[in-house]
């Protein structure tokens, strides 16, 4: 409840005595639906913001005294920000109050306050899982509508698969749900450490991009592949690029790009060109900010 005011020699009633302790368990609450500037009567109370839009609670000087406190709370979908008007507002945390968040505003003097947040807006992870799918035998894996420029332009694809001897894996970019079948430029190095060799690969206007060879060499068993593919400029027009590293019985590094007219690249296809591949493909995005 709000602060009580008594006069010298006044005899307190039972109700007044009860009210003196009520603020310990039942604060006076005022709900605001638009940006609000604190007033002196807010001392010792709970100011609750309830707005779907972003709002502010402004703090001015000469309204409160050293030791005064009040609780600020937000129950609306719009973020409410504690804002210094003519007073100083300091905080070790953010001044933004997310939905269902709150904090205590404490005054060290009439014009200086400290805000102690009890809840803050969660920080989004920089790497977000977008899609999980699997290879089955020689069928292609199509990952559509995951590369959206509004949220991210760089992507990370992780393969954990088993391939038959000398299986070859190619990739194409997708525009919505359709593969782009032309315009791939490839420049890469193939490094095989089982039978030491270094091969330069390349070519313009290819119909697909080779991203891995599951080279079992002289072995007669299947081979495991752990492959990481980095994709850039997803969701945008113009040049799309990729690089990949696969680790199996040999080591192969490839890089390439696509230079064809497109509205936006929103996905990709992984296509076994030969052999069988089984396993999991996970696609992640890197946040733009």
d(CA 145, CA 274): 26
pLDDT at 221: 44
- 172 within 8 A of 180, measured Cβ to Cβ: yes
Kindly calculate the radius of gyration of the chain based on its CA atoms and give it in whole angstroms.
31
Q: Is 121 helix (H, G, I), strand (E, B) or coil?
A: coil
Q: Could you tell me the domains of the chain?
A: 14-117 (2.60.120), 127-286 (2.60.120)
| Segment-wise mean pLDDT, segments of 10 residues, the chain, 289 residues | 71 78 74 96 94 95 95 94 94 90 96 88 71 87 76 78 76 83 68 53 72 53 58 60 53 57 76 84 81
The whole-angstrom separation of Cα 259 and Cα 227 is: 24
pLDDT value at residue 247: 46
Q: For position 195, what pLDDT does the model report? A: 55
Report DSSP letters for 105-116, one per residue.
Answer: EEEEETTEEEEE
User: With contact defined as beta carbons under 8 Å apart, do 33 and 58 qualify?
Assistant: no
Question: What distances in angstroms separate CA 218 from CA 141, 213, 250, one per listed residue?
Answer: 28, 14, 11
At 28 the pLDDT is: 86
């Amino acid at each position: 409840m709000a602060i009580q005011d008594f006069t010298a020699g006044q005899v307190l009633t039972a109700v007044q005595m009860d009210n003196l302790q009520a603020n310990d368990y039942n604060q006076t609450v005022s709900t605001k639906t638009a940006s609000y500037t604190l007033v002196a009567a807010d001392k010792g109370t709970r100011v609750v913001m309830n707005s779907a839009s972003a709002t502010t609670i402004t703090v001015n000087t000469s309204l409160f005294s050293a030791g005064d406190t009040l609780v600020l709370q937000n129950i609306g979908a719009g973020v409410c920000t504690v804002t210094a008007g003519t007073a100083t507002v300091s905080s070790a945390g953010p001044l933004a109050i997310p939905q269902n968040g709150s904090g205590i505003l404490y005054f060290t003097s009439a014009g200086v306050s400290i805000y102690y947040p009890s809840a803050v807006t969660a920080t989004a992870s920089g790497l977000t899982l977008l899609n999980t799918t699997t290879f089955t035998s020689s069928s292609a894996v199509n990952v559509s509508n995951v590369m959206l420029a509004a949220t991210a332009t760089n992507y990370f694809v992780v393969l954990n698969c088993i391939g038959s001897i000398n299986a070859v894996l190619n990739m194409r970019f997708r525009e919505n749900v359709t593969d782009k079948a032309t315009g791939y430029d490839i420049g890469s190095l193939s490094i095989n450490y089982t039978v030491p060799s270094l091969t330069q690969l390349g070519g313009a206007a290819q119909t697909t991009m080779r991203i891995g060879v599951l080279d079992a060499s002289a072995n007669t068993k299947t081979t495991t592949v752990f492959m990481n593919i980095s994709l850039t400029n997803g969701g945008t027009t113009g040049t799309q690029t990729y690089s990949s590293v696969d680790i199996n019985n040999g080591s192969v590094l490839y890089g390439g790009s696509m230079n064809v007219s497109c509205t936006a690249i929103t996905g990709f296809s992984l296509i076994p060109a030969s052999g069988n591949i089984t396993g999991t493909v996970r696609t992640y995005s890197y946040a733009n900010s």
